[in-house]
Structure 1
Amino acid sequence: MDVAETYSDGRRLLVERPAVGLLGVALLYLFVDLMLRLANVPVELMGVEVIGGTLAVSTFGRFLLDGLIVGLVVGLAGVGLSMTYSILNFANFAHGDYVTTGAFSGWIAAYLVGAFTLGVEEPIGRLLMIQAPSLVSAFSSPLAIVVGIILAGLGAVLTALFLDRIVYRPMRDKGGIPLLIASIGVALALRYAIVFIFGTGSRGVTATGSIPEVAIPTGDGTIPMNLHEGTLIVAAVVLMFGIHFLLQRTKLGKAMRAMADNKDLAQVTGIPTERVIRATWIIGGALAGIAGFLIVLERGTLSFNIGWRLLLLIFAGVILGGIGSVYGAMAGGIVIGIASRVSLVWIPSDFARVAAFSVMILVLLYRPEGLFGGVKTA
Structure 2
Amino acid sequence: MAASDDSSLGRTLVERPAVAALGLAIGYLLVDLVAKLAGVEFGLAGVHLLGGSTAFSQVARYVLDGLIVGLVIGLAGVGLSMTYSILSFANFAHGDYITTGAFSGWFAAYVVAFFTLNVDIPFGEAFLVTAPSLVSVVNAPLAVVVGLLASGAITVGVVLLLDRIVYEPMRDKGGIPLLIASIGVALAMRYAVVFVFGTSTRGVTETGSIPSLDIPMIDGTVPLNAHEATLIVAAVSLMFGVHFLLQRTKLGKAMRAMADNKDLAQVTGIPTERVVRTTWIVGGGLAGIAGFLIVLERGTLNYNVGWRLLLLIFSGVILGGIGSVYGAIGGGIIIGIASRLSLVWIPSDFARVVAFAVMILVLLYRPSGLFSGVKTA
| TM-score for the superposition, normalised by structure 2 | 0.98
Q: Is the 1:96–1:311 Cα contact (8 Å) retained in structure 2?
A: yes
Tell me which amino acid in the other structure corresponds to 1:293: F
Query: Matches of 1:160 and 1:99 in 2, distance apart?
Result: 11
Q: Is the 2:85–2:259 Cα contact (8 Å) retained in structure 1?
A: yes
Cα shift at 1:40: 0.6
1:321 correspondence with 2:314? no
1:235-314 aligned at under 5 Å gives the runs 235-314=234-313
- Name the structure 1 match of 2:187: 188
- Name the structure 2 match of 1:342: 341
Cα shift at 1:126: 7.1
1:104-123 aligned at under 5 Å gives the runs 104-120=103-119, 122=120
1:88 correspondence with 2:87? yes
Query: Matches of 1:250 and 1:164 in 2, distance apart?
Result: 24
Query: Matches of 2:26 and 2:322 in 1, distance apart?
Result: 24
- Name the structure 2 match of 1:175: 174
- Name the structure 1 match of 2:165: 166
SS in 2 for 1:217: strand
1:49-68 aligned at under 5 Å gives the runs 49-68=48-67
In the alignment, structure 1 segments of 5+ residues that lack a partner are none
**Structural RMSD (CA):** 1.2
- Name the structure 2 match of 1:210: 209
Q: Is the 1:321–1:372 Cα contact (8 Å) retained in structure 2?
A: yes
SS in 1 for 2:208: helix
Query: Matches of 2:20 and 2:124 in 1, distance apart?
Result: 58
* Structure 1 runs of 4+ with >6 Å offset: none
Cα shift at 1:123: 5.4
Q: Residue deviations 1:61-88, cap 9 Å, x none?
A: 1000000000000000000000000000
Percent identical among aligned pairs is: 73
Between stretches 217-226 and 270-279, larger displacement belongs to: 217-226
1:144-155 aligned at under 5 Å gives the runs 144-155=143-154
Cα shift at 1:124: 5.6
Tell me which amino acid in the other structure corresponds to 1:247: L
Q: Residue deviations 1:249-271, cap 9 Å, x none?
A: 00110000000000000000000
- Name the structure 1 match of 2:36: 37
- Number of equivalenced pairs: 376
SS in 1 for 2:172: helix
Cα shift at 1:14: 1.4
Between stretches 190-199 and 2-11, larger displacement belongs to: 2-11
Q: Is the 1:247–1:257 Cα contact (8 Å) retained in structure 2?
A: yes
Q: Is the 1:108–1:128 Cα contact (8 Å) retained in structure 2?
A: no
Query: Matches of 1:224 and 1:146 in 2, distance apart?
Result: 23
Q: Is the 2:110–2:121 Cα contact (8 Å) retained in structure 1?
A: no
Q: Residue deviations 1:105-164, cap 9 Å, x none?
A: 1000011111211233x2564799354111100000111111111000011111110111
Tell me which amino acid in the other structure corresponds to 2:352: R
Tell me which amino acid in the other structure corresponds to 1:59: Q
Q: 1:371 to 1:123 in 2, by over 3 A?
A: closer
Tell me which amino acid in the other structure corresponds to 1:148: G
Query: Matches of 1:155 and 1:345 in 2, distance apart?
Result: 40
SS in 1 for 2:53: coil
Q: Is the 1:327–1:377 Cα contact (8 Å) retained in structure 2?
A: yes
Tell me which amino acid in the other structure corresponds to 1:68: L
SS in 1 for 2:171: helix
Query: Matches of 1:163 and 1:376 in 2, distance apart?
Result: 25
SS in 2 for 1:323: coil
Tell me which amino acid in the other structure corresponds to 2:220: G
Cα shift at 1:342: 0.1
Q: Residue deviations 1:318-357, cap 9 Å, x none?
A: 0000000000000000000000000000000000011111
Aligned match for 2:127, one of 126, 129, 137? 129
Query: Matches of 2:121 and 2:160 in 1, distance apart?
Result: 32
| TM-score for the superposition, normalised by structure 1 | 0.98
Tell me which amino acid in the other structure corresponds to 1:317: G
1:366 correspondence with 2:352? no
Between stretches 209-218 and 174-183, larger displacement belongs to: 209-218
Query: Matches of 1:134 and 1:17 in 2, distance apart?
Result: 54
Query: Matches of 2:214 and 2:141 in 1, distance apart?
Result: 21
Q: Is the 1:115–1:135 Cα contact (8 Å) retained in structure 2?
A: no
Between stretches 279-288 and 154-163, larger displacement belongs to: 154-163
Cα shift at 1:178: 0.4
Tell me which amino acid in the other structure corresponds to 1:338: I
Q: Is the 1:340–1:353 Cα contact (8 Å) retained in structure 2?
A: yes
Query: Matches of 2:224 and 2:326 in 1, distance apart?
Result: 27
Q: Is the 1:23–1:362 Cα contact (8 Å) retained in structure 2?
A: yes
Q: Residue deviations 1:280-337, cap 9 Å, x none?
A: 0000000000000000000000000000000000000000000000000000000000
Between stretches 5-14 and 314-323, larger displacement belongs to: 5-14
